[in-house]
Amino acid sequence: MSNLRLRLLSYVIMAYMLMAFAWWSMLLFTKNQDAFYAKRDLMKIGMVAEGLVKNNVEFEQTFDYQELAKKYQRQERMIFGEAIMFVVTLLAGIWFINQGYQKEVKANTQRRNFLLSITHELKSPIASIRLVLETLLRRELPKEKANQLSTSALRENERLHELVENLLLSAKLETAYQPYFEELDIAALLEDLMAKLADRHPEAYIALEKPDDFPLVKMDKQGIISVATNLLENAIKYADARPEIEVRLFHQNKKVTMEFADNGPGIPEQEKKRIFEKFYRIGSEETRQTKGTGLGLFIVQQVVKAHNGRIQVLNNQPKGTVFKIVIGN
């Protein structure tokens, strides 16, 4: 609220300055005009008295009058030029202030959303692990039940570990991230990740489509794991019903193409450029039901850039989204 008041106050001050400058410009123009008329009349009276001119036509053709007129016109142009420059500068100032305000509002909203989401993301697994441990300590449970609870706690611990890894990786991406390129069997890597996700999300259908002779390619293993994990997790998380995900691999002309297609609600056109911003998530944190911190797609884009690749967001048919990643020369 204080920022809004400060913004309104700055606009009021600028509006006052604009009106004041307009008034002073008109006053200066009028004074300059009056001075010109006074000098012109005085010059004309002197020339008539000396018999140098007989009428206005002869007077206006004299060298002295023409020089006086040229000087007045220069002063007039200078006044209008200064007025225009002041108005342009003032409008530019208003625009920059407004842009700065919008950026500050956007940054504050992102920070608030991040704090809300990260608080929820941290509290949820911690509370689940604590509940499991308290249950195991206070009750004598059958071995099968105890194993179930222990497995649940391990899953929550893994989720917490992934969250911390994402936070650390997002910090590195802006400062010290250096990909380590090594020859990888991308198909096998994706199959392993998909198998782990299938265990954690048995309701999801995840399929890999690839050629039989897919070659080894040089990539950063941890970076590509993070890219695939974030895209697959998002596809499962945002699915309306049963998640159906198809991962497609292509290799042509030393380029590797990976496509992650889902059957979710899709992404509005106006949001497609913003989803890669750090901490940005569609909607409001107060009403959002899905988990997340807004770091996943930011990490995906930065890792792809580090591989000199590009990522596109396309519409899937009949519904959903396709993230298309192309890496290579």
Query: pLDDT tens for residues 210-241?
Result: 888 888 889 999 889 989 998 998 888 888 77
Do the domain assignments include residue 101? yes
Number of domains in the chain: 2
Do the domain assignments include residue 149? no
Which range of residues forms the domain containing residue 56?
A: 2-110
Do the domain assignments include residue 84? yes
Residues 101 and 17 in one domain: yes
Q: What is the structure's pLDDT at 323?
A: 94
Which of 52, 76, 110 is a domain's end point? 110
Residues 312 and 191 in one domain: yes
**Which tens digit of pLDDT belongs to each residue from 267-308?**
888 888 888 887 777 655 444 455 666 778 888 998 999 888
Q: What is the structure's pLDDT at 116?
A: 64
Residues 191 and 281 in one domain: yes
For residue 294, which of 109, 154, 104 has the smallest C-alpha distance?
109
Do the domain assignments include residue 231? yes
**Which tens digit of pLDDT belongs to each residue from 106-147?**
777 767 766 666 676 777 778 888 888 888 888 787 888 888
Do the domain assignments include residue 189? yes
Determine if the pTM surpasses 0.95: no
Do the domain assignments include residue 285? yes
Residues 203 and 101 in one domain: no
| pLDDT cut 90: percent of the chain above it | 13
Residues 105 and 6 in one domain: yes
Residues 98 and 212 in one domain: no
CATH number, domain at 209?
A: 3.30.565.10
**Which tens digit of pLDDT belongs to each residue from 46-104?**
888 888 887 888 888 888 888 888 888 888 888 788 878 877 887 787 788 777 777 77
Question: Between residues 255 and 295, which one has the greater pLDDT?
Answer: 255
Residues 12 and 93 in one domain: yes
Residues 106 and 221 in one domain: no
Residues 186 and 53: their CA atoms lie apart, in Å, by 98
Which of 110, 134, 152 is a domain's end point? 110
Which of 76, 110, 144 is a domain's end point? 110
